[in-house]
Amino acid sequence: MAPSEKAKSAGAPVEVIKGSIPPGGVKIVEWRGKPVWIVRRTPEMLDGLDSLDSKLADPKSARKEFPTPIMQKYT
Per-residue pLDDT of the chain (75 residues; tens, 9 = 90+): 787 888 777 778 888 998 999 999 999 999 888 999 999 999 999 988 888 888 887 777 677 776 666 566 665
Backbone angles phi, psi at 36, to 5 degrees: -125, 125
- So what's the pLDDT on residue 45? 92
Write down the pLDDT at residue 49: 84
Contacts 24+ apart (CB under 8 A), 40-49: 46/74, 49/74
**DSSP three-state, residue 70:** helix
Residue type present at position 54: S
Q: What is the pLDDT of residue 44?
A: 94
Task: Return the CA Rg of the chain.
Answer: 17
Kindly list the domain boundaries of the chain, sorted by start residue. 21-71
pLDDT at 72: 62
